[in-house]
C-alpha cells in the first residue's frame, strides 16, 4: 500500500501524516506540512483513521496500526486485542496479537463482553441460577438462558418426529416457570406480572 512512507504511528495511538512535497501535474510545487489525523469512533468504541495512498482511501483501526508498527504484521488466525478491554486505549502496552477465542475470554473475564453482563435473555427470563447453562459458564462462554435452550430442544425433537411445533414464546415461558420452580414469586415477580398483564 505504500502507507509506511506517508504516516507516522506513535506507541500512544497517534497517527500523523509525514510532511512531504511534490510537483502537481500543472507544474506547481506543493509543500504538505503533515498533520495529526482525527480518529473516528465506531459504535463499539474502536478508533479508526482514514489513510490515503495513490488516490485510494484505507480505513484502518488504530490499535492494529500500532501493533503493525511496533510488533509486526498480524500472524495468521490472530487479531488485535486490548488487554484492559477498553477499545479506546490504544497504548502499545495495552495491545497484543492473540486468538479470537482468547480475546473473547478476556472480554468475559473483564466483564466487557456484550453477553457476559446480560441480566435477562430476549424473552425477559432472568439469567441467574438455576436458569443458566452451567457448562457454558464453566468454559468461560456467555451467559445463556436454560429455559429457552430447553424450549428449542423440545421443538427440535418434535420437528424430527414430524409433530406439531409449539409456539416458542409459550414453550420457553413454561420452561422458565418449571426451571425457577417454587421460588419464582420471590426471584422474578416482574416476569409473573408481565405474564398476567
> What is the phi/psi pair of residue 176, to 5°?
-65, -45
pLDDT digits (tens, 9 = 90+) for 47-101: 999 998 777 888 999 999 999 999 999 999 999 999 888 888 999 999 999 998 8
- Look at residue 132 and tell me whether its pLDDT is greater than 90: no
Residue 71: inside a domain: yes
Mean pLDDT to the nearest integer, 9-15: 92
Q: Which domain holds residue 65?
A: 7-110
Please, are residues 58 and 52 in contact by the beta-carbon 8 Å criterion?
yes
Residue 22: inside a domain: yes
E strand map for 43-188:
47-53, 56-61, 79-82, 95-98
Residues 138 and 101 in one domain: no
Residues 138 and 171 in one domain: yes
Q: How far is C-alpha 37 from the chain's CA centre?
A: 25
Residues 31 and 106 in one domain: yes
Residues 100 and 192 in one domain: no
With bands split at pLDDT 50, 70 and 90, how would you rate the model's confidence at 2?
low
Residue 83: inside a domain: yes
In angstroms, the CA 90 to CA 95 distance is 7
pLDDT digits (tens, 9 = 90+) for 133-153: 876 655 556 678 899 999 999
Residue 1: inside a domain: no
Please, are residues 23 and 30 in contact by the beta-carbon 8 Å criterion?
yes
Please, are residues 118 and 125 in contact by the beta-carbon 8 Å criterion?
no
CA angle 75, 78, 81 (to 5 degrees): 120
List Cβ neighbours of 3 (8 Å cut-off, separation of 6 or more): 51, 53, 58
> pTM of the entire structure?
0.58
Please, are residues 112 and 81 in contact by the beta-carbon 8 Å criterion?
no
Amino acid at each position: 500500500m505504500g502507507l509506511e512512507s506517508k504516516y507516522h504511528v506513535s506507541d500512544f495511538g497517534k497517527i500523523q501524516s509525514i510532511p512531504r512535497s511534490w510537483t502537481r501535474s500543472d507544474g506547481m510545487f506543493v509543500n504538505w506540512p503533515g498533520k495529526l489525523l482525527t480518529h473516528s469512533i465506531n459504535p463499539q468504541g474502536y478508533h479508526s483513521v482514514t489513510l490515503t495512498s495513490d488516490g485510494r482511501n484505507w480505513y484502518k483501526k488504530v490499535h492494529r496500526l500500532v501493533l503493525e508498527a511496533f510488533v509486526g504484521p498480524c500472524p495468521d488466525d490472530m487479531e488485535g486485542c486490548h488487554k484492559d478491554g477498553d477499545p479506546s486505549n490504544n497504548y502499545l502496552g495495552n495491545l497484543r496479537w492473540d486468538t479470537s477465542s482468547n480475546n473473547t475470554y478476556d472480554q468475559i473475564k473483564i466483564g466487557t463482553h456484550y453477553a457476559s453482563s446480560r441480566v435477562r435473555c430476549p424473552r425477559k427470563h432472568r439469567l441467574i441460577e438455576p436458569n443458566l447453562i452451567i457448562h457454558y459458564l464453566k468454559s468461560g462462554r456467555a451467559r445463556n438462558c436454560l429455559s429457552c435452550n430447553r424450549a428449542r430442544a423440545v421443538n427440535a425433537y418434535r420437528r424430527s418426529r414430524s409433530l406439531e411445533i409449539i409456539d416458542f414464546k409459550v414453550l420457553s415461558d413454561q420452561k422458565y416457570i418449571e426451571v425457577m420452580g417454587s421460588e419464582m414469586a420471590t426471584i422474578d415477580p416482574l416476569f409473573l406480572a408481565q405474564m398476567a398483564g
